[in-house]
Amino acid sequence: MSGRLRLGFLASHGGTSMRAIIDAIADGTLAGEACLAISNNRDAPALRFAEAAGVPHSHISATSEGGEEAADLAIRRAMQEAGAEWLVLSGYLRKVGPLTLDRYRGRILNIHPALLPEFGGRGMYGRHVHEAVLAAGRTVSGMTVHIVDGEYDHGPVVAQREVAVLPGDTVETLQQRIAEAEPAFFVEVLQGIATGRLAVP
Q: Are strands 140-147 and 157-164 parallel, antiparallel or unpaired?
A: antiparallel
- Non-local CB neighbours of 180 within 8 Å, separated by 6+ positions: none
CA distance 47 to 14: 8
- Non-local CB neighbours of 141 within 8 Å, separated by 6+ positions: 113, 114, 115, 119, 130, 133, 162, 163, 164, 165, 174, 178
Which amino acid is residue 200, in one-letter code? V
- Active-site annotation holds for 154: no
Which amino acid is residue 109, in one-letter code? L
Q: Which of 13, 57, 59, 112 is catalytic?
A: 112
**Among all residues, which ones are annotated catalytic?**
112
